[in-house]
Amino acid sequence: MRERLAESERPTEPGRSAEAEEFVWYAAYGSNVHTARLRAYLAGGAPPGAECVYPGCRDASEPVRSTAVELPGAVYFATESPVWHGGRAFYDPGARGVAYGRAHLLRAGQFSDLVAQEMGRPAGTDLDLTGAVARGRLALGPGRYETLVCAGALDGLPVLTFTAPWALADVPPRPPSPAYVRHLAAGLYEAGAWGADEIARYLAGLPGAAGLWTAAEVRELLGGAAVSAAPGGPPARPVRR
C-alpha cells in the first residue's frame, strides 16, 4: 500500500479525489534533475535542449517538495539518445555505488503521467504502483525506461524511479555528449547539496563517462557561476531500502 502524507502536509484543494491525494517520491537521476525539464513533463511544452513537445500531466501542479537524494546503486551511460546525441543515463539499483539525484514529491497520478510520457505512451492512465513498492521492481514493458524501481523510502513514502530492464554489466557503455553532461551537472548543482567540484568528480566517474571525461572538463561546463563549495543548501538525504 502507498502511504499518505501526514494530514498537516497534505494540500487541501477542494474537489480532489482520494486517489489523487496519494503521494510518492519521484527520484530523478537523469535529465529531470533539472527543474526546467521536469516542468515540461508536468505542464507540457518543449524543455530546453529537447526536440519534442510533451503533452504534460493531467495535474500540472509543481512538486509539493523537492530534495537532493543519494540512492543505493549506480548511474551509468549507455545506448544513443536521439535528443542529446550521446549516451543517456540509466540506473542500476543492484550495482555498487551511490547515485546522486533529486526526489520530487508528486501525486501518484502525476507520476503515472510522467512515466507514460517518458515511455512515449499516452498519458491519462493511473498505474498500479503497489507491485513496484512491494517487490522493489516492476516491468511495464521491454523498453529502455519501462521498468519501475522502488529504491527505498523517504519520510515514510516510497521513492520510485524508472530505468531499463537490463543491468549495468549487460550493455556497452556509451559516453554522454557535452550538452547532456552540462544539463546533468547544472541540475545537480541546482539541488543545492553538492559543490561544483564534487558534481564534476561524480559525473566524470560514472560508467560510460569514466576515462573519456575528466572532472576538470565537467567542471568547465558548469562555468564560473558555480562555486567550488556546496551552494549552501541542505545535504543530500540518503534513501534506504
- For 120-161, how does the pLDDT look when each residue is reduced to its tens digit (9 = 90+)? 888 899 999 999 999 999 999 888 899 999 999 999 999 999
Q: Answer whether residue 82 shows pLDDT above 80.
A: yes
Q: Which three cell numbers stand for residue 166?
A: 537490463
Residue closest to 91 by CA, chosen among 37, 144, 158, 38:
144
pLDDT of residue 120: 84
Q: Is 22 exposed, middle or buried (0-12, 13-18, 19+ CB in 10 A)?
A: buried
pLDDT band at 12 (very low <50, low <70, confident <90, very high): very low
Tell me the pLDDT of the chain averaged across its residues.
87
pLDDT of residue 130: 93
pLDDT of residue 191: 95
pLDDT of residue 14: 35
Q: Which residues of 155-188 are buried (b: 16+ CB within 10 A; e: fewer)?
A: bebbbbbbbbeeebeebebbbbbbbbbbbbbbbb
pLDDT of residue 70: 98
pLDDT of residue 47: 76
**Dihedral sign, Cα of residue 78, residue 79, residue 81, residue 87:** positive
pLDDT of residue 93: 97
pLDDT digits (tens, 9 = 90+) for 157-199: 999 999 999 999 999 999 999 999 999 999 999 999 999 999 9
pLDDT band at 74 (very low <50, low <70, confident <90, very high): very high
